[in-house]
Amino acid sequence: MLEGKKILITGGAGFIGSNLAEYFLRNNQVTVLDNFSTGHMHNLAEHMDNFDFQLIEGDIRNLEDCKKACEGMDIILHQAALGSVPRSINDPITTNQVNIDGFLNMLVAANESSVLRFVYAASSSTYGDSKILPKTEDNIGAPLSPYAVTKYVNELYASVFSNLYDLEIIGLRYFNVFGRRQDPNGAYAAAIPKFISSFLDLKSPIVHGDGSQTRDFTYIQNVIQANELAAETTNPEAFNQVYNVAFGERTVLLDLIKKIQSLLSQINPAIGKVDIRFGPERIGDVKHSLASIDKAKRILGYNPSHSVAKGLDEAIEWYYKELTAK
């Protein structure tokens, strides 16, 4: 149903955005808008000679960049944001500017360009201090970080624009996404690629806290599926809604690390002897997380294809090839 549509992916040089670009370029014209503050050109290099691909280097904080990117688009997959709870605590102003001002700019530009569908990346951080498990979309707590505040404000703006301007808007609350192209480097790198990279370098990975925290880790292929379903649905019940995007299974962080170590030690037995180090808990982190994906299943037809185990197998194979080739 999406074949031939013009799709704009903001943040398309990043981890999730570049995977979406690769997938939708099979049957669509894809434009990427990115300022490369956290994304990388090498994530898009293979598409630069593709007639159906266009790159706009711009910033969602600039309304004119947003308007230029939205011209003639049918569907927007808005992934651009400054992620990371610690980053938002260290620099709440920039996080707010990108995640709230930039989001509003994109909504305004999409409305002015009469875009058919606006699908955006929401976040499980919106559940805040709610201790109820599993997390259901209509039951959230108080935000625990500036990042969580910005993602919740996105949902509020999306609802207002959907009601006022009759836009078809869908939010996807991602739960701890991992997979190929997720950057293992930098101060705010995500846990799984950081663990993999550390083990491959025979360095001790650092766990924040005692490792008993739980997460609903979600492989990138499940996120791609959710975006496709949200972009193509014709179910009127689907719009002006947010959906959990997860696998629906809790994983203890320490168990995850040991699983990664075990898989990598099959490649290099020395990895099995690397010690795991423990550091202080991070301020603003949610202790336990588990998603109910019933709503996404019922309304969007979401059916995640990759468990954590299957996703880890694919991710580790990709990282091993990438990191050892450098």
Q: Which residues are catalytic?
A: 147
77 HSE (CA, 13 A, CB side): 32
d(CA 58, CA 301): 34
Which H helix or E strand runs over 158? Answer: helix 146-165
CA 121 to chain centre: 6
Per the structure block, which two tokens stand in for 24? 């939708």
If 0-12 CB within 10 Å is exposed, 13-18 middle and 19+ buried, where does residue 276 land? middle
CA 177 to chain centre: 6
Q: Hey, which residues does 122 pair with through a beta bridge?
A: 173
Which H helix or E strand runs over 56? Answer: strand 53-57
The residues, ordered by sequence, that sit 6+ positions from 133 with a Cβ below 8 Å of its Cβ are 250, 288, 289, 290
The answer to whether the beta carbons of residues 88 and 151 sit under 8 Å apart is no
